[in-house]
Structure 1
């Protein structure tokens, strides 16, 4: 399973992310439309949504990062290191990945979404300058313009998720193999706080995904379960009945990276010390001896 299987209920909300200002500004923009007696309601909406869109592009695609992409070239006349709205949108969706990789390997054409964002910003700007032609627009025209501008944002969010999902899907087998190898070879210190000894029985990767794409690196994660047999006491203690064996399962997560120049299993690498085993619930479970184990259950760093 990869993030490819995740359904986005509201691409705009997803694109806003965890930024409280963006959520508040988006809500304020929509509230302008509710004021049916205000003849400037769409003008106010257009201004707020234009600024929100520009802020999202700057946050998710900072100019200095766009400039470091291998695909960047200055397309702005008379401005040194100029970055267009289409280039900002390109970075939001694919970071430093080449168009050739996105179009041929992922079979994803995002040029319509880039152009829609640019065109939406231009159109919204037209309505921030109040004139007789842009004042007190009919309700039907407002509805059409609002839907068009929101569709541009939705399209950008969907393209961003699709790109990441397709990358994770294409790399899943390599991610799974590397994550399992790393878990098997790691000391898993978090389990040392649970039992005196443990034996690793099985490792499974259930989900993988792309967290972010920078100008030079794709940052991924993998998560799944580690099945172990926990042991308290020595082997001789267990044979005498003074020790204890117990089968259990713990969630784990790890981080990986690969190069945007070669986004394949060949460049995939595990981030050092990134394996985290979740033992938080261990101290809240009753074991087979009928008591609650109060061992420190914080996950390993």
Structure 2
């Protein structure tokens, strides 16, 4: 049997109880010493497990709505690789990936390719490669789990690459969205104010799906608070930390929806 550490690592990545039961079944059948087809049955369970997990991560209807989706003539609905791609890029278009993020879509395909090849290799048992000895069975189980883990790791790497590039590319758009919003916390402490520089130090992509992206930005905003009367105006220059959450269409990620933009500015230092 494979190492418990690897089994636990895979279990932590599985999205529901059904997939965890699938994993347990794929491993349990390997312990049936009197079952000559145990490796074949386990391999089949591993393939079903992978398909189920990808279907949950990337539902068919969501993937097929993406502009980049092209139906494979040999498959009904999305392929496993297309589902994996969806988890990395959602509905972001090829043009946006290339021109705004500097990522060639084909590099995402090629990045996932080896992981799928290894998974296919490790979860197929054919008559001419029938596994019979305990050592062969154990190696099969270890390799199959390692290949599934490698697929998860590769998806994470591709997803992080896109998310990092996206979060930095959208910082400017987030700044514009920030400046164009009325900020209630500043209204409360000053009847009139002007927003100056906005420093974003922690851009984060919360989600990317077929239709929208959601982002969170934190940082510091410099403002001029205006007080006093017409003939004796007084200006106070201050800086406050803020958090901004917003969303935009996946087809035009730089067009943040101001109606869905929420800005929280921490003005506690001024009140103190």
TM-score band, normalised by the shorter chain? Answer: 0.5 to 0.7
Q: Report if the CA contact (8 A) 2:223-2:238 is conserved.
A: yes
Gap runs ≥5 in structure 1:
1-11, 240-244, 289-301
SS at match of 1:250: strand
- Residues 286/51 of structure 1: CA separation in 2 closer, same or farther (3 Å cut): farther
Change beyond 3 A, Cα 1:197–1:113: same
Whose helix fraction is larger, Structure 1's or Structure 2's? 2
Residue in 2 that maps onto 1:183: 178
Q: CA deviation at 1:155?
A: 0.9
Give 2:54's match in structure 1, choosing from 46, 52, 57: 57
Pairwise CA distance, 1:218: 4.2
* 2:82 counterpart of 1:87: yes
- SS at structure 2 position matched to 1:75: coil
Q: Give the paired residue count.
A: 249
TM-score by length of 1: 0.59
- Call closer, same or farther: CA 1:30–1:180 in 2, change over 3 Å: same
The 1:55–1:42 alpha-carbon spacing in structure 2 relative to 1, beyond 3 Å, is same
- Quickly say closer, same or farther: Cα 1:207–1:69, change in 2 above 3 A: same
Q: How does 1:1-301 map to 2 (within 5 A)?
A: 16=13, 19=15, 21=17, 25=20, 29=23, 50-77=47-74, 82-98=77-93, 102=97, 105-107=102-104, 109-116=107-114, 118-119=116-117, 122-123=120-121, 126=124, 133-134=130-131, 136=134, 137-169=136-168, 171=169, 175-192=170-187, 195=189, 197=191, 199=193, 200=195, 202-228=197-223, 235=228, 247=238, 249-260=240-251, 267-279=254-266, 282=268, 288=272
**Structure 2: runs of 5+ lacking an equivalent:** 1-8
Partners of 1:150 and 1:192 lie apart in 2 by 51
Q: Secondary structure of 1:206's match?
A: strand
Post-superposition CA distance 1:170-216 (Å, at most 9, x none): x2xxx3333333333322113445x3657455422112243333335
